[in-house]
Each structure stands twice: as structure tokens, then as C-alpha cells.
Structure 1
């Protein structure tokens, strides 16, 4: 597949994700962690304009000079920006203008890609592809949060499957022997800087579940008082449970004695055999404690990954998000991509049903703060 074809396919998918939305859906920001869909569409376009077209396409004319302030996310090197919590206050530019911006940049990128760029420029374009795919996952989960906090529980798309595998719980654990293992990305394809450098780790022998935790097993945790027993929780997690009055995973509701959840297809009864999702690290840790087990480290996960059924949920690990040995940030704005977030976050491994095709691998290191649960997150147990 040529660069032009790949560019067009990825850019088109972002707009396909937004196709079921009404205009008003594009501008809502219920919480700081959820960005309006309109902003995602503009920001991913700004990325190609800022990092490819402006420095390397000498004929290019900026679409709107104010958009650098509006659609810059966190790149201090690039200049000032609208703070994250205010993205939902941007009634302008309107949705139509954002789509005009995308079309303008897409046409300029098609012309630029026809010149067959090479070397460092191609690497930046590939980063742009993967950056947009990251935002495609965020788009879908942000859309779900926006619609899921609407009391009408509107349907986004009745055909979207949020789970493809049913789980038989309490199967035999996989055994991994004690030893020294090599961790990190290796190969010729794309990878993020936080997957480097490849290095060795020593692991004690351990066992790990080949499957994720199901809704049915998590309901047992709820019904046996898991959210009311401080013994299972970190102190910080217990404070979160009590201050936020948490009794179940995000989007769950008990109606006439049955558990329902909001899905992209609307309000549905919880399927007991589907993997539990939309839980944070605190809940994952507490559940593991209740089971008399623990979460795997990210290294344990990676070593066992070829034997695991993964890809449905981002899986919380017991690992802090830290640099690998020899990690170095790239110079300039690109160096702000991952390194400056390596503090106070937990690593998640795998992928989810919202992860775009060709955007998952065993060495991928996702990361979020422990209290967040709006992504498709789940639990795998170890011992």
C-alpha cells in the first residue's frame, strides 16, 4: 500500500467514526479527559499541517493561523494553546469549518505525498498515521462517554460489537518459568519511542490467566461486597470509591434486580460471559485482591503474550509507566510525545475493541492514571 493510499484510508476512518453523530454531539466535553469529537478531527489535521506541510512543503499556505492555538494539544515547543478543560467551550470553529480544514490539508498532503518523500519525513508521516489511529480510539471512547452521559442513552450504532469473545471463567492458568527474558520492540515496522530500548529482565516463575475476567465473575465481586470492603483496596482507591460513591463499573445500572450497561448500541442487559470493561486500576487491583491473586507486571504480560487471548480490552498491569534503560527523548516537539508523561501512571497492555486495525502489538505500552476508566479496560489475573 502506498503512502497516499494509507493516508487516505486512515483519514477517512476518522470521519466514518463521526458519521453517526448529530452536530451537537461534536462539541460536548463532559469531563476534562474527554475531548469533543470536533477537536479530535481538528487536532489530527493540525498534526499533519504542523509537522509535515509547514516545514517540508514550501508551497503550502496555512489554512488558518489561529488553529495552532486551538488544536495544539500539549506541545510546549509549538506555542500556547487552549487548555484541555476548555476544548468544549470552543463553539468556533464550527463543525463545517473543521471538515473544510481537513479537506484542505488532505489535498495538500496528497500533493506532497506524490513527490515521494523519503527518510526522516516518511518516519514523521508514519508517526502521524499512528497518532491519528490513537485519536480514533479516543474518538470512539469519548463519543461513548458523551452519549453514555445523556439520560436518553442514545444509540450510536446498533451494529458495533463491543466484545467478540465469550469467556469461560476459572480455566487453567498458564505457567511461565523463572528466567531472564528480553523485553521491548524489535523489527522493521513502526513503534513508539517508549517501546525502546530492548533489554533484559529477570522474572520469578509465575502463572497467568489465558483469558480476561468476565462480567459474571465481576458481579460476584460486587454482590459479595467488594465495593464495601476496604481490605481489598489501596487507600487511594478506597478514598475514590467513597468520595465518588462507586458501586459498579462505569455505565452499569441495576434495574429491577438486573445489571444493565450502556453500550454504543444503547442500554443493554449485561452479558455475563463478556469481559468486564470500563474499570480503573483501583478496581482491577481490588478485584485481584478479592480473588487472592494479583495483576501481572507489564513484563510478565509481554513474555506470556503469545499464549494469551488478548485484544478485547486494555489490560491494567502492576507496572508504573517508566522509561526503559537507555531511553532518550527525541529533540524538539516530537520528544514531547511520550517521555514527559512518565510519572504517576500505570501501564496497560494489549489492545481493545476500539483499537484500529494494524495498531496493536505485543510491545505496545499504553498508559493512564489509576482513576480513569472511560477506555475499554479490563482485568487479567496472575499469581
Structure 2
């Protein structure tokens, strides 16, 4: 238990350092809502602390509520993002003091950590990192240059085949024994798939430009009916944050730069990804196809936690906000799955064709608002994480989901086709 306590203390501290970095702004910037799609950063900051108090102090340690009057303010299901600036939120200084007090109490409580509460600590660490990624999306929507610092992340790039064949047969999807896994990743179950082909790398900006320049945005043939309605209404003609002034440019964290055509495309919604795939004569992979390509080792008939094995290895994926953008397509050959598919974790979230739903035998844990309330045809599944995703919240079973019109998230895609 001592090693577990030390690990949780270190992981909580690392997540908080990241949160502080993302909120190191003037108070005016913290309380400003840059888009109705996102909360003011000060809401995310206090929400992180309130969630931690709810689960690690009240639920796990039995501590009396510190600020019960603010629970409703920071309930993500009670107030949509667009309305949060009108709430009587804690001002920045008070929010910082609150989350600091919560954290001090949580660290003190680790001495009494019980094994049955270990998942709650896993959940809270992942939750904070997930909100850190959300705050990065808020930073991307800001027009002013960001204070974020980009690190150099070496990544080998070697030649690759355009696609790989995944043989027909069953594999184990999901997990029943990963202590970090959320309820929607459970339980493990066998899925039998026919043979298919999947791209070995994500679709690049250069690939996507060919779709744009061929008139793909103006050709109704490629679009889902609701996607065509969205495209007509929004009058979009390129990924979010792209614009053309003689050459194609993009705005990234307040800085304008040429679009790097050798990187995976990001900031495209599901409808755009689906239209490109149709234009290319392919389709988006199903969620099961993505997962089999990412984790199934046919030689050992074993499902892996990461494409390269069961232990996380730094430098095999672009994760954790080291770089503030995707790596070059074809990077990380040592991070490839047994099927030879690269960049399955990190770089960009990847849209799949699958609606979000529970697996056979799904059981809510520890609360239905994490997964179950989102089940249905309104949400599409994304897989694999992005450069902004922390390794603690990224594995081959991890499932993300969002509306098919979402573009501010760090999402791209790869294609598949039936054999």
C-alpha cells in the first residue's frame, strides 16, 4: 500500500502542476468565456477541486463537505457550458485557495487509503487530466498568444505501407481487470470481425487538402444528409482554424503559421471525416475494428493495454502535452501495434463510425452520469487520445465520445475498408 500511496500522491501532484500551468493567466482571462462551447477557465479550475472533494474526501475518506453550497455550480450536468459565466462562480483567488485546501486534505487522507477506494483515486487523476485537455481546447479558441511552452519530442519517421490487412476472426474487446478502466470500457467480451483493411497512419493535412481542392466540401455525394445540412448551414470549407491567404495557414494557440501538410489533420468533425472517407473510396473504421487493429496480438492471442505491450513506454507516442501539435505522419514506428498500425495513441483523437453505447453486460460504476446518460445515436465514439491527452487517461480500451459536429477538440481520423 505504501507504493500505491506514493504513486497516487505523485500522480495527483503532476496533474495539479499541469492545471496550474493552464490557468497561469490574468484573472480577467480566467473569467472570460472565449466561446459558448467552452467554460471560463475559472469554472474548470474549481470544478476539478469540487470533483476531487466529492470523491476523495466525502466518498472515500468520509470527510464532511467543505463547501456544499457550491456543488450545484460545478455540476457539469446541471449547467450547460454556455450558461456558466452567469453563475456566481468562485473568483480566481478563491478558486485557487479552495482547490489547494482540498488537495492538502486529500494528501493527508492517503494514510488511510483502503484498497477498495483505489479506483476513485485513478478516476480523479484521469478526470483532472481530462479537464486539462478541455482547457487546452479553450486556449486554442483564444485569439491571443498562449503562454504554453512547447517541448521538443523526438520522433523517428520511417516508411510505411498505406494500409494493412486485419484477418477475420475473434478478439477480446474491452477489459474486466484494468484497475484504471471506466465502466464504459467494461466488461471484456469476444467480438468476431470479418477481414478488413485499415490505414497504417492517420489522414494527413496534405491528404485532406486534396479533398478540399477537389471540391469535396461542395459535393453533396460525399456527405451524410445531416452532415450536408451542417456544412450548408455553417458554410465551412476547411478544418477549423484553417484559412487561406495565398497559401493555407492555421491559427494555433494564437499564432498564425503555415499548415504543416505532413501532420495528421485535426479539428475536423465526424461529418467531415465521414465525407473524406467516402470521397477516398473508403469509410471510417468501426470502434471494434479500431480496437482490434490497436491491441490484438494474433501470435499470442492476447489483447494489449498499449499497441506495443502492457507497459507504458515514454517516447512511443505523442501524449502528455509535450508537443502542442501532432507529430509527423509515420512517426513512432516502435509504437506500432502487432498489426503494424502506427500512431494509434496520441497525436489526434480518431473518429469511428460507431454510436456510443454500453458493452454487453455493462454496469454503471461509480455513477451513471459518467457514461450511461450519453448512450445513444447522438454521440460518436473517438479512440486513441491526442497529443493533449495524458498517458494516465489513454489506453487501447479507452473510449471518448462527442457530438458529430464537434471541431474544437483535437480530433482527426484514419480510414478503413471492407475486404
In structure 2, what is the equivalent of residue 239 of structure 1?
229
Structure 1 residues 209-238: Cα deviation after superposition (integer angstroms, max 9, x where no partner)? 110111111111111101100000011000
2:17 matches 1:12: yes
Moved more, 230-239 or 260-269: 260-269
In structure 1, what is the equivalent of residue 387 of structure 2?
353
Could you tell me how far 1:188 is from its partner in structure 2? 3.9
Structure 1 residues 131-157: Cα deviation after superposition (integer angstroms, max 9, x where no partner)? 111111111112212x1xx3xxx2214
In structure 1, what is the equivalent of residue 115 of structure 2?
119
Q: Secondary structure at the residue paired with 2:191?
A: strand
Closer, same or farther: CA 28–208 of 1 in aligned 2, 3 Å: same
Could you tell me how far 1:43 is from its partner in structure 2? 0.7
CA distance in 2, matches of 1:56, 1:261: 45
Could you tell me how far 1:254 is from its partner in structure 2? 0.7
2:374 matches 1:341: yes
In structure 1, what is the equivalent of residue 281 of structure 2?
292
Could you tell me how far 1:170 is from its partner in structure 2? 8.8
Contact 1:315 1:378 in 2 (8 A): yes
- Aligned counterpart for 2:266 among listed residues 243, 267, 277: 277
Moved more, 44-53 or 163-172: 163-172
Closer, same or farther: CA 167–71 of 1 in aligned 2, 3 Å: same
* TM-score, length basis structure 1: 0.89
Could you tell me how far 1:11 is from its partner in structure 2? 1.8
Could you tell me how far 1:111 is from its partner in structure 2? 1.5
CA distance in 2, matches of 1:32, 1:18: 19
2:309 matches 1:319: no
* TM-score, length basis structure 2: 0.82
Could you tell me how far 1:204 is from its partner in structure 2? 1.3
Contact 1:34 1:142 in 2 (8 A): yes
Contact 1:185 1:198 in 2 (8 A): yes
CA distance in 1, matches of 2:153, 2:217: 25
Closer, same or farther: CA 286–162 of 1 in aligned 2, 3 Å: farther
Could you tell me how far 1:168 is from its partner in structure 2? 8.8
In structure 1, what is the equivalent of residue 3 of structure 2?
none
Could you tell me how far 1:70 is from its partner in structure 2? 1.3
Number of matched residues?
365
In structure 2, what is the equivalent of residue 108 of structure 1?
105
Structure 2 unaligned spans of 5+: 1-5, 295-336
In structure 2, what is the equivalent of residue 87 of structure 1?
84
Contact 2:38 2:81 in 1 (8 A): no
CA distance in 2, matches of 1:254, 1:162: 28
